[in-house]
Structure 1
Amino acid sequence: MSFSLAEYLDELRPLINVDCGTYTLDGIKYIAEQFEAKFLALPGWQVTQVDCDKAGIGLEIRNQPQNDNIDVMLIGHMDTVFAPGTASQRPMTIDEHKAYGPGVSDMKSGLLNIVFAMRHLNPAVLDKLSICICMNPDEEIGSLYSSQWLQQVAKKSRHVLVAEAARADGSLVKARKGMARYKLEFTGLAAHAGNEPEKGRSAITEMAHWILAANRLTNFESGTTLNVGMVSGGAGANIVPEKAQAIIDVRFWDNDEYSALDQQLHQWLTTPFIDGVTINLQREAYKPSMVPSPQTESLMQIVEQAGQEIGIEVNWQAVGGGSDANATAILGIPTLDGFGPVGAGFHSEKEYLQLDSIEPRIQLLIRVLEKLADVK
């Protein structure tokens, strides 16, 4: 494979230097147009825009669109977590070893690696493999508007590879915790805190009971954790608070344990700690846990062999953060993650991309696809 790092970075830069946080529709559209053009420039590829409702458009890219079955599904997301204005404040920069900028490793470089792999993949492999590449606009909010589409495609697929960044030590990802995010809204009764506090029903006190009860559901041994990360409420120190709100983040390995936890939270709705306070519980995001099946372990062996053949030692991690891999793994489809270049500092100003990992990870993806073509 002939590879020019300078040319790669020239293609990466415009993908970083545009605001494309979730719901930043103009930026998402720009990213989608960039990738659509790259694939339409390759012979035989078909690009379909997918309506992802409030999140904007996604892309479904296929080399054999007439084929009902898909041998390999590749997934990557076009959105970032960063607010409008971030791209102009922190445009892409490069030093001797790393590139920096919003989304540089999470995950514009992963998307671009897919493009480069397809450009250099032997046409004979493309003839043997039915490949579908899905690029969604809302992974950073739990793929609220795209998960159903992704799962529909995954059900037709034999293997799923997700191009999120490899870990800082180069490891790929074999397992990810499940996650859920809940918004709790408490409504009590306002009253003067000095004259007649007994007539009030404190939404904040009810929320405090829920926080303590939620903390007791955490099980560090099994890996199920609840974190009340945001709270708000009240209108003044001298007013019994009528309104309060809390956001709870849940992480878990055991999907059954999570289901029991979800039932517990809904059961509490019927028995508030303070009479007269009502609670509204809304699950805003959800991803089941991703745990390797025997079929996934077979796919891991193929990836390890591919790494050996090109001189890359493949190691695996189980990580706490979720990705779209969670949504396909729960369907029983062999799914692995971390096929992008090496990076770290995700969701922060310290986010970086390891430059010397770009070409080897393109080569790894190519070799994995070649081996999957051989085992058909």
Structure 2
Amino acid sequence: MFFSLQDYLAKLEPMVNVDCGSRTPEGVAAVADYVTALYQRIGYRVTRRQFSDACGPCLEITNAPDAAQYDVMLSGHMDTVFPVGTAAERPLRVEGDMAYGPGVSDMKAGVLALWYALKDLPQAADGSLKVVVCYNCDEEIGSPYSRDWLVDTAKKSACVLVAEAARANGQLVKARKGNAKYRIAFHGKASHAGNALAEGVSAITELANWTLAINQMVDLEAGTTLNVGLIKGGTGVNVVPDFAEAIVDLRFWDNDAAEGIDAHLRALADSPFVAGCRVEVERQTFKPAMRPSADTEALIALVEAVAAEQGLPIGWQEAGGGSDANFTAAAGVPSLDGFGPQGGGWHAASEFLMLGSVEPRIRLLQGVLARLAARG
């Protein structure tokens, strides 16, 4: 494979220099149009899938349009976390051996790296490796619209490789914590704090009791953590508050433990601390934990063998943040993550891409795909 970093950066620039937050459908659509043209150029069939007007399109791309099963599913996301105007404020720039810009490594670099890995792969060209590539539009908000499609496609694939960025230290990702976000609403009764305090029912007092109870559910040893991260409530200092709200973050390694937490929260809602309060528990997002199975361990060994042949030092990380690999792994499909070039600073103005890692990581992915084809 002949590789030109200048050519790669030229192709990366228009993908970074567009506002494509999850709730910016037109920006994600612009990225989708760009990616579609790249894949059509190398003979792949591209199918556009629109699951909601709230977000942009998803892309299902394959070299085997009539296949009932795929040898591998490659996955990435086209959306970022940044608001409109960010791309104009800080477009792609290169400084030494680093590139910077919104979404440069999370995950435009990985989206493009998949195309580079496939375009010169003989096993993909001759059909001995049946590939499906899924690019979704809503990963940064938990993939609420694309999740079912991703899981259904993964179930038709022997394994899943996700091109989120490799860590700055070179590690890939073999496990990820699960996560959930809860909105808990507290309804009380308003009254005058000076003249009729006893007639009121304080939603904030109920929220305070819940905060303490939630803190007691944390199990650091097991890796189950909860955080009451956002709260609001009340209308005035002299009014007993009739409404309050908390947004709670849950992270976990054990999916059964997460369901236990969910049941505990709902049981608390059935028996409020403050008489007269009513509590509503809404689980807004949920990603199951990604844990390696025996088949995943075999896939890890395959990746390590290819890396050793190429003289590329790699390692494996158990990450706290989630990705779409959480969903595919929970569906029973061997899944690994971190196949994009190395980077860091994600979701911040300091986000960076390590340019020296781009070609080696593309070659690693090519080698893994070739080995999968040989394995049959």
Q: Partners in 1 of 2:104 and 2:286 — Cα distance?
A: 25
Contact persistence 2:173–2:316 (CA under 8 A): yes
Contact persistence 2:123–2:370 (CA under 8 A): no
TM-score normalised according to structure 2 size:
0.98
Structure 1 counterpart of 2:42, one-letter code: L
Cα gap change, 1:124 to 1:249, in 2 (>3 Å): closer
Percent identity for Structure 1 against Structure 2: 50
Structure 1 counterpart of 2:46, one-letter code: V
Contact persistence 2:201–2:242 (CA under 8 A): yes
Contact persistence 1:269–1:280 (CA under 8 A): yes
Q: Partners in 2 of 1:168 and 1:233 — Cα distance?
A: 41
Structure 1 counterpart of 2:6, one-letter code: A
What do residues 48-78 of structure 1 show as CA deviations (whole Å, max 9, x unaligned)?
1112212221000011010100110011011
Structure 1 counterpart of 2:361, one-letter code: R
What SS does the corresponding residue of 2:20 show, helix, strand or coil? coil
Is 1:17–2:17 an aligned residue pair?
yes
Structure 1: runs of 5 or more not aligned = none
Q: Partners in 1 of 2:369 and 2:221 — Cα distance?
A: 38
Q: Look up the match of 2:303.
A: 303
Contact persistence 1:61–1:133 (CA under 8 A): yes
Contact persistence 1:303–1:314 (CA under 8 A): no
Shift of 1:347: 0.7
What do residues 126-170 of structure 1 show as CA deviations (whole Å, max 9, x unaligned)?
511111100001111111111111000011110100000001101
Q: Look up the match of 2:371.
A: 371
Q: Look up the match of 1:275.
A: 275
Q: Look up the match of 1:185.
A: 185
Q: Look up the match of 1:239.
A: 239
What SS does the corresponding residue of 1:55 show, helix, strand or coil? coil
Q: Look up the match of 1:49.
A: 48
Cα gap change, 1:127 to 1:166, in 2 (>3 Å): same
Q: Partners in 1 of 2:126 and 2:359 — Cα distance?
A: 20
Structure 2: runs of 5 or more not aligned = none
Q: Look up the match of 1:322.
A: 322
Q: Look up the match of 1:8.
A: 8
What do residues 306-334 of structure 1 show as CA deviations (whole Å, max 9, x unaligned)?
11111212210101000000000011111
Q: Partners in 2 of 1:175 and 1:209 — Cα distance?
A: 34
Q: Partners in 1 of 2:120 and 2:276 — Cα distance?
A: 66
* 1:345-356 alignment, distance < 5 Å: 345-356=345-356
Contact persistence 1:165–1:338 (CA under 8 A): yes
Q: Partners in 1 of 2:149 and 2:68 — Cα distance?
A: 15
Q: Partners in 2 of 1:60 and 1:225 — Cα distance?
A: 35
Q: Partners in 2 of 1:126 and 1:369 — Cα distance?
A: 13
Contact persistence 2:63–2:124 (CA under 8 A): no
What SS does the corresponding residue of 2:279 show, helix, strand or coil? strand
Q: Look up the match of 1:94.
A: 94
Cα gap change, 1:124 to 1:284, in 2 (>3 Å): closer
What SS does the corresponding residue of 2:19 show, helix, strand or coil? coil
After superposing the two structures, state which structure 1 stretch, 266-275 or 168-177, moved more. 266-275
Contact persistence 1:52–1:145 (CA under 8 A): yes
What do residues 226-251 of structure 1 show as CA deviations (whole Å, max 9, x unaligned)?
01111111111111111111111100
Spell out structure 1 runs of 4+ moving beyond 3 A: 123-126
Q: Partners in 2 of 1:240 and 1:92 — Cα distance?
A: 51
Q: Look up the match of 1:362.
A: 362
What do residues 166-206 of structure 1 show as CA deviations (whole Å, max 9, x unaligned)?
01101000000000111111111111111111111111111
Q: Look up the match of 1:292.
A: 292
Shift of 1:125: 6.0
Q: Partners in 2 of 1:208 and 1:124 — Cα distance?
A: 58
Q: Partners in 1 of 2:11 and 2:237 — Cα distance?
A: 54
What SS does the corresponding residue of 1:226 show, helix, strand or coil? strand
* 1:1-376 alignment, distance < 5 Å: 1-43=1-43, 45-53=44-52, 54-123=54-123, 126-376=126-376
Structure 2 counterpart of 1:46, one-letter code: R
After superposing the two structures, state which structure 1 stretch, 363-372 or 232-241, moved more. 232-241
Q: Partners in 2 of 1:187 and 1:262 — Cα distance?
A: 20
Contact persistence 2:123–2:373 (CA under 8 A): no
Contact persistence 1:52–1:137 (CA under 8 A): no
Structure 2 counterpart of 1:2, one-letter code: F
- Alignment RMSD (CA, Å): 1.0
What SS does the corresponding residue of 1:82 show, helix, strand or coil? coil
